Every structure is written in C-alpha cells, then in structure tokens.
C-alpha cells in the first residue's frame, strides 16, 4: 500500500539519518515503526480487557498450583520466561 506522510523537518531528518545508519529505506523504516506501534496498541488493549475482566472472573481454588506447575515446566524446558 502506498502512503504519503508529512513530517516536521527535524523528524524527517532524524528518520532519514536513522534509515541510512541502518542501511534500509525510509519506507521500510516507516513500515517497521508502524508495525511496532500497532503491536504495542494491541497489547495495551488486550491488557486493558484483561484488567477489566479481572474483577468479574471467578478464580479456581487451585489456580496457584496450576501456575506454579506451568512455571516449573518452563524451567524444565529452558523457556525464555522461566523463573526460579
């Protein structure tokens, strides 16, 4: 998709320098920036939906045990999010 964007001069210069420093086009840099922005917005929206539901959800009595079991499995698998 083609998109035309007008930037303040200072920001435009910064974007051009950053694209050149990374060896990519300004279009690619803009596309990556938009993708990251949209990803962050979706994560925030999801987080807010979870928080909105938190007060209405009934938590199982064994929830702590289930979570702990999941943590142990992550440690055993060597997952990136493993905690000891």
Residue 75 token pair: 């440690």
Sign of the alpha-carbon torsion through 29, 34, 40, 46: negative
Between 65 and 76, where is the model more confident? 65
Tell me the three state secondary structure of residue 59: coil
Kindly tell me if the per-residue pLDDT of 74 is higher than 80.
no
Kindly tell me if the per-residue pLDDT of 81 is higher than 70.
no
pLDDT number for residue 58? 72
Cα 7 to Cα 32: distance, rounded to the nearest angstrom: 17
Tens-place pLDDT, residues 11-68: 999 999 999 999 999 999 999 999 999 999 888 888 887 777 776 667 777 878 877 8
pTM: 0.56
Kindly tell me if the per-residue pLDDT of 79 is higher than 60.
no
């Amino acid at each position: 998709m083609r998109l035309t964007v007008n930037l303040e001069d200072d920001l435009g210069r910064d974007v051009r320098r950053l694209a050149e420093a990374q060896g990519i086009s300004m279009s690619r840099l803009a596309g990556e920036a938009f993708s990251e922005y949209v990803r962050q917005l979706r994560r925030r929206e999801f987080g807010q939906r979870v928080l909105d539901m938190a007060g209405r959800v009934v938590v199982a009595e064994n929830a702590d045990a289930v979570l702990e079991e999941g943590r142990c499995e992550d440690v055993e698998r060597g997952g990136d999010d493993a905690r000891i």
